[in-house]
Amino acid sequence: MKKRFSISTTHIILLSFLVVILAGSFLLSLPISSADGKATEFTDALFTATTSTCVTGLVVMPTVSSWSIFGQVVILILIQIGGLGVITIMSGIMILLHKKMGINDRMLLQDAFNLNSLSGIVRFVKKVVKGTFIIEATGALLYMTVFIPDFGAKGIWISVFTSVSAFCNAGIDIIAENSLCNYALNPVINAVTCALIITGGIGYIVWWDILRVIKKSFNKKSKLFSSLTLHSKIAITSTVILIFAGAFLIFVFEYNNPETIGKFTLFEKIQASVFQSVTTRTAGFATLPQESITNASTIVCLLLMFIGGSPVGTAGGIKTVTFAILVVSALCSIRNKEDTELFGRQITKQAVSKAVAVTFMSFLIMFTSTVLLSAVTQASALDILYETVSATATVGLTRNLTPYLNTIGKLIITATMYLGRVGPISLAIAFSQRKENQSIVRNPIEQIIVG
């Protein structure tokens, strides 16, 4: 009986996000949360709570003008919980209260961070929480140099909110209804926001690996990059390539577009192009009107959004490491290599299979959402696809479609954001029945034709 009613760690993670979303929906539906003092429709409150907890950034109501200070505080708390993860927050509280963490708690953390080992998991959580607040506080202080002169004392709150949102890759702001478009040419806002997005999206594991290598280099001479783990090498290399390749293509495709960067100086064009490339990595802030970018740039942004950031971080998408493994695996197959190799190391077949599964599940969620939204919305196919990819990868960019979604459309995107956040691979595990006693008998092998 005990075994029959047992619940897996993956199910607990899925349910914990759902509970936080429902609690946030209730609080945001209260009159005290709205700017006009009236109760918010539950559908809109549910959408806002989901986009905050899932750190997506799509909003049906302008955050700056629709919510009171109380409502904005609720949204910020949901963003912080969603960025770090519900399990991480609860574990951090247990650590602060000096509560002993059992094996089940450690297994929860292992699944929440998608780690391969339970070794040092508590120490890992402590460093994650501490590092997160240090980076967010630094970002807030840097933002204050711009927002306090512009908004006065209110700039302090705007700086804190924006810093947390940027680090958590949420893309929600309380600056203006057009996101960061008013600061498209401000180098401080661009640099700080990009730094926070990349730091949160590169992944916690890469943080500690870089610090480890730096400390090691002080004791003895060694090449920094070669001393990194394979995971860090893939994550860093993929991130750099995607950012600069995306920025270059956007720069070329938007160079003469008067509605985006066509009228900017050369430096301003480069700055805006880099920001657009970085923000599509699941951040969701906009310094350019997304509905005005060319179709070519839109296609580039769709790919960048779908890939997203790196594992064990605040970003969404299928992840850079997943994409890199798929590309390298395909190239190795083309060259008739039996093994997938990268940076002089062999990638396990399990990692390749997981990359395929994650990509397939993400594509399935995106495809289903696109079909359903197309059935209830009269918008163009490109705008709908941009919306659904943004929701699946928890990006938050929109071609001005989100505010005009009907009730059914809002529910479709709400479900898509939730599924995109909890992770395709977690869903696959959660909704599949694991057989404890699998047969050792294997079916005979038969050749098929592929391609």
Residue 6 has pLDDT above 60, yes or no: no
User: pLDDT tens-digit profile of 254-266?
Assistant: 999 999 999 999 9
User: pLDDT tens-digit profile of 330-353?
Assistant: 998 888 888 888 888 888 888 888
Domain count, the chain: 1
256: tokens are 């003469």
- Average pLDDT in the 19-46 region? 94
pLDDT of residue 143: 96
For residue 367, count other CB atoms closer than 10 A to its CB: 13
Residue 440 is assigned to a structural domain of this protein: no
d(CA 10, CA 424): 11
Instruction: Determine the distance from the C-alpha atom of residue 57 to the mean position of all C-alpha atoms in its chain, rounded to a whole number.
Output: 10
pLDDT of residue 291: 93
For residue 7, count other CB atoms closer than 10 A to its CB: 9
222: tokens are 């060694």
Residue 156 is assigned to a structural domain of this protein: yes
Nearest to 195 by CA among 114, 135, 109: 135
Is residue 295 classed exposed, middle or buried when 0-12, 13-18 and 19+ CB atoms within 10 A define those classes? exposed
d(CA 131, CA 327): 32
Residue 97 is assigned to a structural domain of this protein: yes
Higher confidence at residue 389 or residue 311? 389
Residue 443 is assigned to a structural domain of this protein: no
pLDDT of residue 435: 47
Nearest to 204 by CA among 112, 118, 274, 275: 112
- Average pLDDT in the 369-374 region? 96
Nearest to 83 by CA among 110, 112, 56, 55: 55
Of the pLDDT bands very low, low, confident and very high (cuts 50, 70, 90), residue 103 is low
Q: Which domain holds residue 370?
A: 9-428
Higher confidence at residue 423 or residue 360? 360
pLDDT of residue 436: 47
Residue 99 has pLDDT above 50, yes or no: yes
Angle between helices 349-376 and 407-422 (to 10 degrees): 170
Of the pLDDT bands very low, low, confident and very high (cuts 50, 70, 90), residue 216 is confident
List the beta bridge partners of residue 347: 340
Q: Give me the residue label for tokens 């880099």.
A: 274
Q: In a 3-state reduction of DSSP, which class is residue 404?
A: helix
Is residue 13 classed exposed, middle or buried when 0-12, 13-18 and 19+ CB atoms within 10 A define those classes? buried
User: pLDDT tens-digit profile of 289-320?
Assistant: 999 999 999 999 999 999 998 887 888 899 99
Residue 106 has pLDDT above 70, yes or no: no
pLDDT of residue 2: 45
273: tokens are 């192009």
Residue 399 is assigned to a structural domain of this protein: yes
pLDDT of residue 122: 73
Residue 3 is assigned to a structural domain of this protein: no
- Average pLDDT in the 229-233 region? 89
- Around 25, how many Cα atoms within 13 Å sit in the side-chain half-sphere? 17
Alpha-carbon distances, residue 136 vs 2, 35, 143, 162, 200 (angstroms): 43, 26, 10, 9, 10
For residue 223, count other CB atoms closer than 10 A to its CB: 9
Residue 72 is assigned to a structural domain of this protein: yes
Tell me the percentage of the chain whose pLDDT exceeds 90: 58
334: tokens are 């083309």
- Average pLDDT in the 105-122 region? 60
User: pLDDT tens-digit profile of 123-158?
Assistant: 777 888 888 999 999 999 999 999 999 999 999 999
Of the pLDDT bands very low, low, confident and very high (cuts 50, 70, 90), residue 4 is very low
- Average pLDDT in the 177-202 region? 93
Residue 125 is assigned to a structural domain of this protein: yes
24: tokens are 């946030």
Q: How does the average pLDDT of the chain come out, rounded?
A: 86
Measured at the CA of 147, the angle between CA 146 and CA 151, to 5 degrees, comes to 135
Residue 120 has pLDDT above 90, yes or no: no
Q: In a 3-state reduction of DSSP, which class is residue 106?
A: helix
Of the pLDDT bands very low, low, confident and very high (cuts 50, 70, 90), residue 424 is low
Nearest to 10 by CA among 108, 90, 91, 96: 108
pLDDT of residue 284: 86
